Amino acid sequence: MVKSTGHKKINTSVFISGYGTNLRNLIKFAKRYNSPIKITFVVSSKKNAKGLVFSKKHNIDSKFYSFKKKKIKENDILTNLKKRNIDLICLAGFMKILSKNFIKKFKGKILNIHPSLLPKYKGLNTHERVLDNKEKYSGCTVHLVDAKLDSGKIILQKKVKIKKDDDSHSLAKRILKEEHILYPKAIKKLIANL
């Protein structure tokens, strides 16, 4: 379990693969004086992930892991996380699936954000599928990560109304805006409910 002792901020690692707008937003959140977290390590599954500019800008250590020999890489990540006393992992656009063993080691301490109203539309291409099915609403979900894809206890969700002229880009953009509000709220909720 994630434990916050007094005013000590929880050492947090953010895992990314892409643009990192959620990372950028979480860094902003962590920098607030009353934030319960401190981001001290960024893991990227892509060498040139755009999001790495944000960790660089804020002098946060980051490391790229290719995930090719998954077990070896994961053990390396775990060693690094331990060394840095990381107590919370936030997946933010992280495109790799973590092993059962990894998840077990951080049980109840890994959050993910997914751009749909889970348990609906797990996996990739959520917006396209939502639009194909002529849904009225979509949204985003922050949930704890367990061994199954996009499963695990839901911490918070935000509904987003679909507009008649939405395409996957416009919908993704509107949902992403909500993600940036939802993720910090979910982190606070997770930590407050301990």
4 versus 19: smaller Cβ distance to ligand GRF: 19
At position 142, the amino acid (one-letter code) is V
171, 138 in Cβ contact below 8 A? yes
Is 169 catalytic? The answer is no
20, 62 in Cβ contact below 8 A? no
Residues 4-63 that bind ligand GRF (CB under 6 A): 16, 18-22, 51
Q: What are phi and psi of 133, to 5 degrees?
A: -85, 5
Question: Of the candidates 88, 98, 113, 130, which one interacts with ligand GRF according to CB under 6 A?
Answer: 113
4 versus 64: smaller Cβ distance to ligand GRF: 64
**Per rule CB under 6 A, is residue 130 in the interface with ligand GRF?**
no
| Distance from the first to the final alpha carbon of the chain | 8
* Catalytic-role residue among 7, 58, 114, 127: 114
1 versus 53: smaller Cβ distance to ligand GRF: 53
Query: Which residues have a Cβ under 8 Å from the Cβ of 108 and sit 6 or more positions away?
Result: 1, 2, 144
Enumerate the active-site residues: 114
Q: Contact residues for ligand GRF (CB under 6 A)?
A: 16, 18-22, 51, 92-93, 113-115, 176, 179
